[in-house]
Amino acid sequence: MRPALILRSFLPFAVRYIYRHPKKFTCLRQHWVDYIGRFEKIAELTGADKERVQAVLYELECEEALFQELDGLSGMPMHPIVYYGLVRLLKPDVILETGVCDGLSSRFILLAMQRNGRGVLHSIDLPNQDVDLGNGARQRDVMSLEKQTGWLVPNRLRARWQLHLGDAKELLPELLRKLERIDIFIHDSLHTYDHMLLEYRAAWPYLRRGGLLLSDDTDWNSAFTDFAREQDCTAVLFNFRVGAIRKPNDSPCQSAIE
């Protein structure tokens, strides 16, 4: 890996961060550790060499206007960055995600697909939810009246996008049966323990061998780590909350059996 290139992409964020938080050098160091850690973890999940991973993330962080419009590293959560890198490197044909809201993740997945020149993204969303998760926690995904699900996805990226509106408990099993096989599954809908496990367990049999199961907000409960243990698989965590599990190459796919 080329240190100068890594520093060049991280430096603008570091300067802004220190300007805004001059006493938080410890936090900046943790950002740096998380930043560097992504290269090895994405390489581990995709089989790509670290230089290729670095080039793909650099492509997004320093050359892509959409990333800069959202204020780069200081304005971007971890999951769209990770998803973009994984999609660019794995070049999947079919991705299924639950939870869209404003469409930030969908936008960067579709951008990666556009650059790959292949792939279709299926997204399931139940708009404008405000759910009490217990213990004083709430999950609130409510958009203003003039906005619609996925409004951040520009028209030029929508040709590869199929949006399905409704409850994932009903739509997910139906869509999985229709697709028969998927390359990547992404959970980002209702973050209760039971619902997260429901989605993981529903998608896993249809995930191709070597495919990825991804999840945001894994720190809300133990569903993700429990599922990884259930499947006897290694859970890879980015920034303590974005999770990834790679399906073993010797694990059978339900759709190939039925």
Domain hosting 53: range is 1-75
Q: Check whether residue 199 and residue 89 sit in a common domain.
A: yes
Residues 44 and 114 in one domain: no
Q: How many CB atoms lie within 10 A of CB 47?
A: 11
Domains: count for the chain: 2
The 3-class secondary structure across the chain, one letter per residue, is: CCHHHHHHHHHHHHHHHHHHCCCCHHHHHHHHHHHHHHHHHHHHHHCCCHHHHHHHHHHHHHHCHHHHHCCHHHHCCHHHHHHHHHHHHHCCCEEEEECCCCCHHHHHHHHHHHHHCCCEEEEEECCCEEEEEECCEEEEECCCCCCCCCCCCCHHHHHHEEEEECCHHHHHHHHHHHHCCEEEEEECCCCCHHHHHHHHHHHHHHEEEEEEEEECCHHHCCHHHHHHHHCCCCCEEECCCEEEEECCCCCCCHHHHC
83 & 139 share domain: yes
Q: Are residues 91 and 219 both part of a single domain?
A: yes
Q: Do 81 and 166 lie in a common domain? A: yes
Same domain, 48 and 120: no
| Residue where a domain terminates, one of 75, 99, 131 | 75
Q: What's the pLDDT tens digit per position in 137-182?
A: 665 566 666 788 889 999 999 999 999 999 999 999 999 999 999 9
Give me the CATH number covering residue 128. Answer: 3.40.50.150
> Which domain-ending residue is among 28, 50, 75?
75
Q: Which pLDDT value is given to residue 137?
A: 65
Residues 33 and 115 in one domain: no
Are 141 and 151 in a shared domain?
yes
The distance between the two most distant Cα atoms of the chain, rounded to a whole number of Å, is 59
Same domain, 142 and 164: yes
Per-residue pLDDT tens for 98-133? 999 889 999 999 999 999 999 999 999 987 565 566
Beta 236-238 vs 242-246: how paired, if at all?
antiparallel
For residues 88 and 177, state if they share a domain: yes
Structure tokens at 1: 């890996």
The verdict on 5 and 35 lying in the same domain is yes
Q: Are residues 100 and 212 both part of a single domain?
A: yes
Q: Which of 51, 75, 99 is the last residue of a domain?
A: 75
pLDDT digits (tens, 9 = 90+) for 55-89: 898 888 777 777 777 766 666 788 999 999 999 99
Rounded CA-CA distance 100/247 in Å is: 24
